Structure 1
Amino acid sequence: MTTATLPPRAALPPEAATSLHPADLAALLDRREAGDAWAVLKALPIARQAETFGYLAAGTQTAIAGIAAPRDVAALLSAMDADERADVWGRLPESLQESLAPALAAAEREDIRRLAAYPPGTAGAVMTSEYAVLRPEQTAREALDSLRGQAASKETIAIAYVLSPQRRLLGTVALEDLVLAAPERSVASIMRPEPAFVRVEDSAEEAARLLARYDLPAIPVVNGGEAMVGILTADDAMDVAEAEATTDFHKAGGSASLGVPLREATIGLLYRKRIAWLVVLVFANVFSGAGIAAFEDVIAANVALVFFLPLLIDSGGNAGSQSATLMVRALATGEARIGDWARMMRREILVAAMLGGTMALAVSLLGLIRGGPEIALVVAMTMVLVVVAGSVIGLSLPFVLTRMRLDPATASAPLITSIADATGVLIYFAIASALLVP
């Protein structure tokens, strides 16, 4: 497949715009001025325009919509899939929406209004209303004829949905099953009854997880009245999973989600998204300083202890970050639940003790060299305890946040590290005081 290899500002030959995959073409256009990008897009057939436009970054989409003629933007939106159209519409400024609305067909305006009404992050907000429908009394031949007529305007016909007159979901039919069935056999006898489904208010992340669990190309979405209103497709689920993973990575790093691609983020936005956590962690680290201050006499009498302080404290924080990362992911994927806490805690303590013991053997040799047997014993005992403490904190915090109905990803690495640091300081100097002070 041809890929995008042209430099950002190089002239884009017409044949390249038509031969490149839409995703590769969009990658090139994202690096150009909105006017140049629109000039390339406008020269393409409307279907290819719409497909390429869907791959563009949000900022590029908004910029193009702002400079193109309303009738051209309306034609572009009309050619897009319903869910992508609603996403683009939601990002446009209100003034631009008002100028574009009259150019859209009434059915498209209603479809955008309905899809945009669902809260962000729900299955309803990411579903598409373009799905293939069959009736249970149709024959296989009639069903295939019906799908031929629907194919051009639907997201997929690989799976068709069998609905009652009240739009209740009765079952699903795979295109392959229709092709292989006897022509006069009824759809009702071919369909798979009681398929998996999600509700419009369910989280998009849970819907994507359910789709992956059952290995489906799409999963139906029903409303409060049990009527089918849309589908979540596999590519939509991938977008949901990517967005959720991005959010979790940001939280794990101790910052809020940017909401825009990093290259488009302003200095002010980057500052606002990162400063809150850093300020919180500054005050959290005060406890570490207070702990050190409380043991000034012990430190003054045994200066060698200072050499091992960063090593020991970092080890506890690193162990906690490892545990938290594993647990946040397990909770996010459903591999672990609240009821698993006690069993997983017992196992984690055993593993942490083994890890701490191994690390203690290594650091005790340094202790012998730098401070003698007593320092070596203090350092070794501290290493075991700080690794166990860090692991317990890292494992427990995601569970606590989940119990409080908060996102476990909020148990970020900086937060875990700060808590483990303060705990490690107290453990270290408490052991040193017990063993070294007469």
Structure 2
Amino acid sequence: MNDTAATTDLLAVTLAQTLAQEHVADIVETLNEQDIATIAHVLGELPFERAVEVLDQPEFGAAAEALALLPEGRAGALLSAMSADRAADVFQEFDEETAARLSGRIDRQTRSDLKKLLAYPEHSAGSIMTTEFVSVPSSWSVQQTIDHIRRVERSRETVYAIYVLDAATRKLVRAVSLRRLIAGDPDAPVESVVPAHKPITVTPEIDREEVARLITKYDLLAVPVVDDDDHVIGIVTFDDVIDAMIAETTEDVQKLGGMEALDQPYNEIGFLGMIRKRAGWLSILLLGEMLTASVMQHFEGELEKAIVLTLFIPLIMSSGGNSGSQATSLIIRALALREVTLKDWWRVALREVPTGLTLGTILGAIGVVRIILWQWAGFYDYGPHWVLVAATVGAALLGIVTFGSLAGSMLPFALKRLGFDPASASAPFVATLVDVTGLIIYFGVAALILTGTML
């Protein structure tokens, strides 16, 4: 071993000894700042249980890369000890060679669990559930159940919810909290302390957003995932949902910005990867804006006759785009929170029309007042027909803001109805759509008001 390697090993050992006494969140934060070789060395030197704790944290971004560098025996043992859902997430990041190499090093039960979890669709309850939960037969007593929890708690993700199964069919009967269990008579049947209502359950194919809604609605620590025969195949815990919702929200925010969602942290995605994520939407938006140029070419004659109209094109386009983006953002969020559903589109339309008219009136009045003030103060001379120019701008703003609000609110419904993510109705996309139609409205209003005078 050369001096450099020996020094690196010594530093890793020292760092591991220091971190072993820290909170797991602090260990993750420190390791995320290290290079991958150092991270792998530290994971190899940390006490086994501490290393498992670190790897189980979703915030630890280098888990897959570090495990790939560790000796196969150590990596396989760590993967086997990790929570099944987290191990599945890490396995998805392995290349084919690493996955094949390490799959032979994990125990049979973990391998079986991973195979099941990796088979479920992305963003489904099955893809984020864990198979490590506490279940007991309904024939057990409270004391038997508590003794069982003591024996298995280290191998379960959570023990705060216990699932009571039919002793014969193994179907889910009830769910009981640890708090109610501890307060019960030790000699009484476990069924005597369970709530009377049926437990809230989900199927593995259900979207994770729906799981989050149920956990929030019923104030659950975990929700069981059941198959068609009501057998519990896993649970989704509230912390898994929080992690999933952070990822979902991040994805939606990126889409709202007019780009594909990033599948890696910003600092980790490569230059070419970033270009691929952003260039497609920018190209589509550019093609859309080309329609704006085509509309202006169509009205070239009107612009030559009334050049003053060009002064207000940026104002007109931005106002329509802003109103559309506002409405889109509101409806996308309302759809995500289930405040509105597809069947509510007409209610939203009926609300956005008067809202758009009111907002358009406000902005139109501001535009008219601005023209009047500039004309009277002598800042700019809009010509002998400046009153008609002011009326044109005011009426156009009224129409464009109303259209923008209506179009922006309806677009998420249309996308959801067609099976697309409503978040794809990004602010730049809505702004581009309203830019084109806004110019048509603007020049249409100008033709009605100014024909016979300036046109």
Query: Which TM-score bucket, shorter chain as reference?
Result: over 0.9
TM-score, scaled relative to structure 2 = 0.91
User: Which residue type is aligned with residue 409 of structure 1?
Assistant: A
Q: Which residue of 2 aligns with 1:407?
A: 421
Q: Which residue of 2 aligns with 1:80?
A: 82
Range with greater deviation from structure 2 (379-388 or 110-119): 110-119
User: Which residue type is aligned with residue 188 of structure 1?
Assistant: E
Question: Of 283, 286, 299, which residue of structure 1 is paired with 2:287?
Answer: 283
Aligned Cα root-mean-square deviation (Å): 1.7
Rounded Cα–Cα distance in structure 2 between residues aligned with 1:38 and 1:58: 12
Gaps spanning 5+ residues in structure 1: where? Answer: 1-9
Rounded Cα–Cα distance in structure 2 between residues aligned with 1:66 and 1:221: 31
8 Å contact 1:321–1:394 — kept in the other structure? yes
Q: Which residue of 1 aligns with 2:352?
A: 348
User: Which residue type is aligned with residue 294 of structure 1?
Assistant: H
Rounded Cα–Cα distance in structure 2 between residues aligned with 1:336 and 1:57: 33
Q: Which residue of 2 aligns with 1:296?
A: 300
Q: Which residue of 2 aligns with 1:389?
A: 403
Q: Which residue of 2 aligns with 1:274?
A: 278
Range with greater deviation from structure 2 (234-243 or 58-67): 58-67
Higher Cα Rg: structure 1 or 2? Answer: 2
CA deviation after TM superposition for structure 1 residue 252, in Å:
0.8
Q: Which residue of 1 aligns with 2:265?
A: 261
Rounded Cα–Cα distance in structure 1 between residues aligned with 2:116 and 2:347: 45
Matched, 1:184 2:198: no
CA deviation after TM superposition for structure 1 residue 98, in Å:
1.8
Within 5 A, what are the aligned runs for 1:97-112? Answer: 97-112=99-114
1:7-66 per-residue CA deviation (whole Å, 9 max, x = no partner) reads xxx997556412432223222212211111122222221111111123366762222122
Q: Which residue of 2 aligns with 1:207?
A: 211
Q: Which residue of 2 aligns with 1:6?
A: none
Gaps spanning 5+ residues in structure 2: where? Answer: 1-10
1:276-320 per-residue CA deviation (whole Å, 9 max, x = no partner) reads 111111111122111111112221222221111101110000000
8 Å contact 1:46–1:79 — kept in the other structure? no
TM-score, scaled relative to structure 1 = 0.94
Aligned length: 429
Matched, 1:168 2:182: no
Matched, 1:224 2:241: no
Q: Which residue of 2 aligns with 1:378?
A: 392
User: Which residue type is aligned with residue 412 of structure 1?
Assistant: S
Range with greater deviation from structure 2 (161-170 or 215-224): 161-170
Question: Of 325, 328, 335, which residue of structure 2 is paired with 1:331?
Answer: 335
Rounded Cα–Cα distance in structure 2 between residues aligned with 1:75 and 1:319: 56
8 Å contact 2:303–2:310 — kept in the other structure? yes
8 Å contact 2:120–2:127 — kept in the other structure? yes
Rounded Cα–Cα distance in structure 2 between residues aligned with 1:403 and 1:115: 29
Rounded Cα–Cα distance in structure 2 between residues aligned with 1:58 and 1:407: 28
8 Å contact 1:281–1:415 — kept in the other structure? yes
1:322-372 per-residue CA deviation (whole Å, 9 max, x = no partner) reads 000000111111100112111221111111111111111111122232422
SS of match in other structure, 2:235: strand
Rounded Cα–Cα distance in structure 1 between residues aligned with 2:18 and 2:391: 70
Alpha-carbon distance change, 367 to 301 in structure 1, aligned in 2, over 3 angstroms: farther
Rounded Cα–Cα distance in structure 2 between residues aligned with 1:185 and 1:282: 71
Range with greater deviation from structure 2 (48-57 or 183-192): 48-57
8 Å contact 1:367–1:379 — kept in the other structure? no
Rounded Cα–Cα distance in structure 1 between residues aligned with 2:417 and 2:104: 48
